[in-house]
Amino acid sequence: MPQIVTLTPNPAIDLSTAIERVVPSLKLRCAQPRRDPGGGGVNVARVVKRFGGDTEAILPVGGLTGELLRRLLEKEDVSSCLIKAEAETREDFSVTERGTGSQYRFVLPGEPLRESEWRECLEALAASKPDLL
């Protein structure tokens, strides 16, 4: 049984990039993007794993972005209980302005879970029996 279990009802793919300067109305050429698994509980599980903790992330995933999220978690060796969702997993993106160090963060909404999906998330959480939630 994992020591720490997280529940992330609205996970995301976090896309980040950088640019020299943000200028309105111009086509801006960005640096190579980076994609990371995201969402509050997912981020906690990733950090716990990095520090050697035993953790499991419970989260719904849907569509192509959900499949990417699954692969990214697997790549980081984060133990996950994935609940199949009808809606596409959301994305967020951030742009760092190199000239100033300012970061612009755009958080996109996720679709509400269906009742059967959020119930399955809660059932997985109840069955996990961790030391910490």
CA dist list (Å): 63 to 60, 95, 127: 11, 25, 26
Digitized pLDDT (tens) for each residue of the chain, 133 residues in all: 778 999 999 999 999 999 999 999 999 999 999 999 999 999 999 999 999 999 999 999 999 999 999 999 999 999 999 999 999 999 999 999 999 999 999 999 999 999 999 999 999 999 997 765 5
Order of strands across the sheet with 34-38?
34-38, 12-19, 90-97, 103-107
> pTM for the complete prediction?
0.90
∠ CA 57-59-63, rounded to 5°: 135
